[in-house]
Structure 1
Amino acid sequence: MNEIRNVAVLVEQSNSYARDLLAGVLRFVRQHAWSVYIPEHDPSLLNQTWIRDWNGDGMIARVEADWLAREIRQSDVPLVDLSGSGRVPGVPAVISDNRAIGELGARYFLERGFKTLGFITDPKFKWSRDRCDAFQQVCDESGIDCHVYESFHVFDKGYSWGQEQAKLEEWAEGLPNPTGVMACHDIKAKKLIDACHSRGIAVPEQISVLGVDNEETLCELSNPPISSIAQDARTAGYQAANALERLMNGEKLGPTKIFVKPLGVETRLSTDVFAIEDADVASALKYIRMQARNGINAADVIAFTGKPRKQIESRFKKIVGRTPHQEILKTRMEFAMRLLQESDFPIHEIARRVGYEHVTYFAVAFKRFTGQSPSEHRELTQP
């Protein structure tokens, strides 16, 4: 019988990203002999010397407090860091690919035709700065104006919620219309929407708002509901547990960094608009987004616009960079990839949900689009 290992998982549990990290760890634990300690409260509130008295075998932690980093450095406990802060040098880290998150947000808005973009960052955190830098880089490469708002953190000296919100309102009011704004996480996105309401700015018509983390309850409580980039926290949790198991088995991983890419964008009403001057193309795009999973084809899109086929196809290709048929396929395949990553639906059910009557046709189309069969994609992307 394998020896049971005592592992501490120090992750603050107040948001869905953290809880999904734990779910990924749990999936690994079900396959291994671990006894897991999870603190009842925020790890930052723990007694700062508890690690010295803890007789454990390994630790997974988001090391974002100096005292925790100091105590871990003084111990011999194997660690996998989930923060990427670098406070504990020389240890493996499993972290979100924050540059990929920033790039995804910028390209999401560019595909919707925006010529002016903005980003709300929290410069106190490296992950936020990385997202912002990548977002700005895409804007620079595309010749797009980018407006950055550097927010204050609640723990900053002299922080005032009222003053911070007033500054955000002033910044939002000064943006050109329309502007697509990405916030570094969903709470900042909600604050921007509140600021827009306060100044009479229409969302998404004047400012389109995108968050990160896909915190479903928070996103749905907003008016309008917030579109958000979904992170793959379950994979991150699983990968962290796997790395810790290897460390406890005596492997030397060193300062390895494992980057976990985002799953995609969950579109809600806060970005349900296309900043495209051609009303027919904008209408066609919206129709495709709403109906692609219902088995429509290019002829249906043309009929919806009521314009001659060659005319609308030419205008669509010029503005979007793809034909209506290619856009339908892209929309279907991106949704299929999300279902393969996040759900346990059988392949034939996923085929039905993205608009294919026959699973064989779906499998052929999916492989042509991704270079992988649906089963191969699921095996490579699910922890």
Structure 2
Amino acid sequence: MSPVLHQPVSQKTLRVALLFNANKVYDREIIAGIGQYLSSTRTAWDLYMEEDFRCRPQQMADWNGDGIIADFDDPDIAALVGKLSCPVVAVGSSYAEAASYPEGIPYVATDNQAILRMACEHLLAAGLPRMALYSMPARPDNRWALEREHAFRAQLALTGEQAEIWRGDHTDSRSWQQHLDSLAAWLHSLPKPVGIIAVNDARARHVLQACLATGIAVPEEVAVVGIDNDPISQTLTRIPLSSVIQGTREMGQTAARLLSRLIHGARECPRPVLVPPAGMQVATSSQHEALRNPYVMRARHYIRQYAGQGIKAEQVVDHIGIARSTLDAHFRKELGRTIHDEIMLTKLARAQELLRSGRQSCARIAEQCGFTSLQYMHAVFKRELGCTPREYQHSQRSN
């Protein structure tokens, strides 16, 4: 007799809505975490999701699905979803006051205190006890930014430094230049050197733009740290941006796990789950070195902007306006190397960063970093690091 094969019992497919703005890297990474949870379990969800739910929020009033995971940083979504009878898990900012969390709804939060602590400790380690925060206007949809202000003040209170905070304006196409001018004026008013923490990478990019437009040396005079590690913001800046990596994937997995428990009968409403940051992406914008020579400071600022365009030492000299022998002497005294060495090291550092990300070919990286050919980049890697670009990339993946 042939053995009886037991077929697995079919599992009911549940209808779950994900209410996020997928145009934001923060929301996309949370969604990715939800996907990781689903792929690692036998949970069967039929997902409903729009790229930007905010376009038609009222349509959820008649939602008859099995559950919802929603971004509660949006006050309109929070107000609407909080009235629905199906199980809901909220995702959003952490709050200093317990009363700020929605009542009776499980909540998964990014830990703002831990995020600002990581950013502040990074700048302190770089020799920058003086810090400032670039925030956002006080509006209901910016409560998360205001909570990061509270966290920043708490961190600065521990060091005894004054918490300098500038919110700036809401930006649009009509007010952009005025906003950039106001931001530049604020940056120029700050005692230097100073570390600037921006409440997200988009605001950090504004700081870098204002610095580049008005000749503020980054990171010698102003070191910049963002929050989100947004790849789009990284590609839109001449100077690579340091950023705190939020624990968004873990947030998504945790929210999905909580919703699954609620759907299957769990009735407890746990306290908010605070998820710490996943780490720090350290790049040029915050790698501060205390330099005394203004010529070297200006020259390095210029090199960081244009090394990827294949500039030569002569172009740096022309920009600074002094003889090459004099500028080289300043470089040797301050850094122990020449202008040419500095250009090459800047290209090499950028190539290493791009190789670690693994998103581009070696040929494209060589072109983007200002090397005349892939073969030349290969020779520089062998000379400076003792390995080929591909070997370097593999070594980073294995660490």
Q: TM-score range by the shorter chain?
A: 0.5 to 0.7
Q: Cα distance 1:352–1:163, how it changes in 2: closer, same or farther (>3 A)? A: closer
1:56 counterpart (55, 58, 65): 65
Deviation at 1:138, TM superposition (A): 2.2
Write the mapping of 1:27-42 to structure 2, written as runs, cut at 5 A.
27-30=36-39, 31-42=41-52
Aligned equivalents of 2:199, 2:147: Cα separation in 1: 10
Deviation at 1:354, TM superposition (A): 9.6
Q: Cα distance 1:252–1:246, how it changes in 2: closer, same or farther (>3 A)? A: same
Aligned equivalents of 2:13, 2:397: Cα separation in 1: 44
Pairing 1:262–2:272 present? no
Amino acid at match of 1:152: D
1:133 counterpart (150, 156, 159): 150
Tell me the residue number matched to 1:173: 188
Pairing 1:231–2:246 present? yes
Aligned equivalents of 2:114, 2:188: Cα separation in 1: 29
Q: Cα distance 1:96–1:87, how it changes in 2: closer, same or farther (>3 A)? A: closer
Amino acid at match of 1:126: R
**Alpha-carbon RMSD:** 2.9
Report Cα offsets for 1:66-122 as digits up to 9, x if no partner: 443333233201111112485743201111001110111111111111131111112
Amino acid at match of 1:118: A
Report Cα offsets for 1:287-336 as digits up to 9, x if no partner: xxxxxxxxxxxxxxxxxx99xxxxxxxxxxxxxxxxxxxxxxxxxxxxxx
Amino acid at match of 2:71: R
Q: Cα distance 1:231–1:64, how it changes in 2: closer, same or farther (>3 A)? A: closer
Aligned equivalents of 1:67, 1:16: Cα separation in 2: 20
Deviation at 1:243, TM superposition (A): 0.5
Question: How many residues are aligned here?
Answer: 285
1:93 counterpart (107, 111, 127): 107
Tell me the residue number matched to 2:17: 8
Q: Kindly indicate whether the alpha-carbon contact (under 8 Å) linking 2:126 and 2:287 is maintained by their aligned counterparts in 1.
A: no
Amino acid at match of 2:287: D
Q: Kindly indicate whether the alpha-carbon contact (under 8 Å) linking 1:97 and 1:261 is maintained by their aligned counterparts in 2.
A: yes
Pairing 1:43–2:53 present? yes
Pairing 1:197–2:212 present? yes
Deviation at 1:139, TM superposition (A): 2.0
Report Cα offsets for 1:234-255 as digits up to 9, x if no partner: 1110000001011111212326
SS of match in other structure, 2:49: coil
SS of match in other structure, 2:82: helix
The more displaced of 189-198 and 77-86 is 77-86
Tell me the residue number matched to 1:149: 166
SS of match in other structure, 1:127: helix
TM-score normalized by the length of structure 1: 0.68
Pairing 1:114–2:124 present? no
Aligned equivalents of 2:174, 2:120: Cα separation in 1: 29
Write the mapping of 1:288-299 to structure 2, written as runs, cut at 5 A.
none
Aligned equivalents of 1:28, 1:6: Cα separation in 2: 16
Deviation at 1:154, TM superposition (A): 4.1
Tell me the residue number matched to 1:331: none
Amino acid at match of 2:133: F
SS of match in other structure, 1:52: helix
SS of match in other structure, 1:82: strand
Deviation at 1:16, TM superposition (A): 2.5
Aligned equivalents of 1:257, 1:267: Cα separation in 2: 29
Structure with larger Rg? 2
TM-score normalized by the length of structure 2: 0.65
SS of match in other structure, 1:259: strand
Amino acid at match of 1:223: R
Tell me the residue number matched to 1:68: 77
Q: Kindly indicate whether the alpha-carbon contact (under 8 Å) linking 1:114 and 1:275 is maintained by their aligned counterparts in 2.
A: no
Aligned equivalents of 1:52, 1:64: Cα separation in 2: 19
